[in-house]
Structure 1
Amino acid sequence: MEKLTMSEIQKESLKVLLKIDEICEKEGLVYYLAYGTLIGAVRHHGYIPWDDDVDIWMPRKDYEAFKKYFLEHEEELKPFKYCCRENTKNYEYYIPRISNMDFAYHTTKKGKKPFDIGVFVDIYPLDGEGNDRSWESVFNKIISINRNYSMYLSGKSSSQWYKTLGKFPKHVMLKVKKGKDYPQHVNQEVDAVLKQYSKDTDTYIGCPAWTEEFTQYRREWFGKPVKIEFAGHMLNAPEHYHELLTTEYGDYMQLPPEEQRVSTHDYYITRRKK
């Protein structure tokens, strides 16, 4: 199987992003370019030249509506698929990936079990993160849930787990009790924490269900989406993207040293046989 080049992945990932944009425009849903994709739009008017990831943020309400729409229109949206813990065996992450299943994803990371997705776009749901740094205690609850599931998937020995995590017996019982529904249980745990502690009126928001580093953004930085050029298309960016990017990256307009301008992916993509 021939691996796709970076430029080929960029081209195909853009198609996934444009499908998401089309659905959001049609359904009146909000999304924003995020992380390196947003840097690419601001600094390069497209992809960062040595990167092919596409990341977007969605406010929780829009994210839930988007998920519902995608799953209800699953057949007509093929080859695009909403990939998540619930429907993709060994998929590790809380956040979903919208994948073009005409392609196949192959992990190269040691200890990772393969999961069946394609060329993808990551969607990061935005949730309230309180009014001060004390919300970090809630964030740590979510980290613990996600780490437990990662360890469960990793196939580590029980002796290692007992040393690092006292909850291993609970996960054994859950595996027996829940069977293949175990991934739904994990997501429900995260959702229950967010439902209890995350408020629409919180001063700060972020994506606590993803990262392992607690970062808070001011809610007003997102605001009403503004259009920004990305690879020849006008797509959505946060209203105050400068403040967001500065908080996350510092001087984001400064290129990294040349030796760091390389892809750090732990996977490759191939085209599926018809």
Structure 2
Amino acid sequence: MKARKRRGGTVLQYREYDTEILNRIKDVEKQILCKYIEICEKYHLRYFVAFGTLLGTVRHKGFIPWDDDIDVGMPREDYEKFLQIAQKECGEEYFLQTVDTDPEYHLYFAKLRMNHTRFVENSLQKAGSVTGFYIDIFPYDEISDDEAEMEKQLNRAVRWGMILSIYKVKEPQIGQYGPAKDFVMRSIWHILHGGMHLCGISAKTVWKKCNQAFMQKPEKGSSRMTTFAADAKKWIIEKKEIEQLVDVPFEDITVKIPGGYDAILTRCYGDYMKLPDEKDRVNHMPVEIQFPGEEVMTFGK
């Protein structure tokens, strides 16, 4: 199992799945997605599939064959409305995981998880937060049309998102850079984590700073948005690209994609219809899986 890339504060890894297990994972995640879409449609909330899920929808009409997660994006206004009503709509079968609902959770975006299941990623075995099959729900915030102001906004927001993760998780969440750089980055993580707790900084204070950075309105106007993952500049979208949301097939269901999907995917992936080399493929290969009503399975712990 190899650590490869980070997105949204999570270390992505890759290991080949057993085909049957991967297909079952996709079925459970699709079930969660269906519940999410049901809520969005009921309350007329805008959403669109994002990142690899958008790529898979366009290129494969469903999941990327080796992928094992689902990502959706929402404009901030719709995202905040979803957070307010989702748990009530989901009942006891699902759990809306945010910094506010799970004190141990360390990411700036929400996850909709299925209760009574497990999906534990290798890098998060010691995190302490709620586990379970999930979909990721990313808020998209306005960013400035002025390049200098945008750079400051991105740097500030991404930095606070990273501080949130460092505060919440003792075990460093980094990629794979080589022995020397790994040692330095892990040491810095441990020092910052311990220092913040030693100084009595509260999780509430860190989260408040995050939201101030995320939702700060640009002074010089905005025609674009992004979500403040580690590589936020890569995920910038033009507002006009999501003015129209189009229904398209995803496996055996229907999802919404941005009308400007071609421009978005081209910026993010280049020739996006071309399959990547095997060495560039990523997934979230877990060390523990528990399907609904079944025993826990372990992998490569």
1:252 aligns with 2:267: no
Equivalent residue for 1:203, pick from 211, 223, 230? 223
Q: Does 1:136 align with 2:151?
A: yes
Q: State the alpha-carbon separation in 2 of the partners of residues 105 and 19 from structure 1.
A: 18
Q: Cα distance 1:199–1:240, how it changes in 2: closer, same or farther (>3 A)? A: farther
More displaced, 221-230 or 256-265? 256-265
CA-to-partner distance for each residue in 1:10-56, whole Å, 9 max, x for gaps? Answer: 00000110111111111011000111111111111111110121000
CA contact (8 A) 2:57 2:249 kept: yes
Is the partner of 2:244 in helix, strand or coil?
coil
Superimposed CA distance per residue, residues 61-96 of structure 1 (whole angstroms, 9 cap, x where no aligned partner)? 10011110114x16x522111011222243211111
Q: TM-score, normalised by structure 2?
A: 0.77
Residue 168 of structure 1 and its aligned partner are, at CA, apart by 6.7
Preserved contact between residue 67 and residue 283 of structure 2 (Cα < 8 Å): yes
**Distance in structure 2 (CA, Å) of the matches to 1:199 and 1:31:** 26
Consecutive unaligned residues in structure 1, runs of 5 or more: none
Aligned residues: 261
Q: 2:97, 2:36 → 1: CA distance? A: 14
Counterpart of 2:242 in structure 1 is 222
| Change over 3 Å in CA distance of 1:156–1:8 after alignment to 2 | closer
Range that drifts further, 199-208 or 32-41: 199-208
- 1:101-140 matches, within 5 Å, as 101-109=115-123, 112-134=126-148, 135-140=150-155
Deviation of the 1:123 alpha carbon: 0.4
User: What letter corresponds to residue 58 of structure 1 in structure 2?
Assistant: M
Corresponding residue number in structure 1 for 2:198 = 172
Structure 2 contact 126–171 (Cα < 8 Å) conserved: no
The DSSP-based 3-state class of the residue aligned with 1:97 is strand
1:21-40 mapped onto 2 (5 Å cutoff): 21-40=37-56
Q: How does 1:1-274 map to 2 (within 5 A)?
A: 5-71=21-87, 73=88, 77-109=91-123, 112-134=126-148, 135-155=150-170, 160-161=187-188, 169=195, 171-175=197-201, 178=202, 182=203, 184-198=204-218, 202-208=222-228, 210-215=229-234, 216-258=236-278, 260-261=280-281, 263-265=283-285, 267-271=287-291
Q: C-alpha deviations, 1:100-157, integer Å up to 9, x for none?
A: 1121122312785242121100001010011032211111112222222322334379
Q: Distance in 2 between matches of 1:150 and 1:206?
A: 19
The secondary structure found in structure 2 opposite 1:5 is helix
Amino acid across the alignment from 2:158: I
For residues 189 and 122 of structure 2, the distance between their equivalents in structure 1, rounded to whole angstroms, comes to: 27
SS at match of 2:99: coil
Secondary structure at the counterpart of residue 227 of structure 1:
strand
Query: What's the offset of the Cα at 1:162?
Result: 9.4
Asked if structure 2 preserves the Cα contact closer than 8 Å seen for 1:83 and 1:117, the reply is no
Give the AA of the match of 2:69: D
Give, in whole Å, the separation in 1 of the partners of 2:120 and 2:91: 23
Two-structure CA RMSD over aligned residues (Å): 2.9
Amino acid at match of 2:152: S
Q: TM-score, normalised by structure 1?
A: 0.84
Identity over aligned pairs, percent = 26
AA of the residue aligned to 1:148:
I
Alignment-mate amino acid for residue 15 of structure 1: Q
Q: What does the per-residue CA deviation read over 1:177-213, in whole Å, with 9 as the maximum and x for residues that have no partner?
A: x4xxx2x4332211112333358951111102x3344
Report the more deviating stretch, 79-88 or 25-34.
79-88
Gaps of 5+ in 2: 1-17, 173-185, 295-301
